[in-house]
Amino acid sequence: MNEVTPDPVKQEALMALMASFVAQGHPQEYAKHMAISAIFQADLELRNAQLNRLLGWLKQDHSELYQQALKLTEDTRIEFEQRVQT
Per-residue confidence in pLDDT tens, the chain, 86 aa: 445 667 898 899 999 999 999 999 999 999 999 999 999 999 999 999 999 999 999 999 999 999 999 999 999 999 999 999 98
Widest Cα–Cα separation across the chain: 54
Residue span of the structural domain in which 72 resides: 8-85
The number of domains in the chain is 1
How far is residue 70 from each of residues 54, 67, 82, measured CA to CA in Å?
11, 5, 18
Distance CA 8, CA 15 (A): 11
C-alpha of 27 from chain center: 26
Is 50 inside any structural domain?
yes
**Quick check: is 1 in a domain?**
no
What lies within 8 Å, CB to CB, of 39 at 6+ separation is 10, 13, 14, 17
Specify the pTM: 0.72
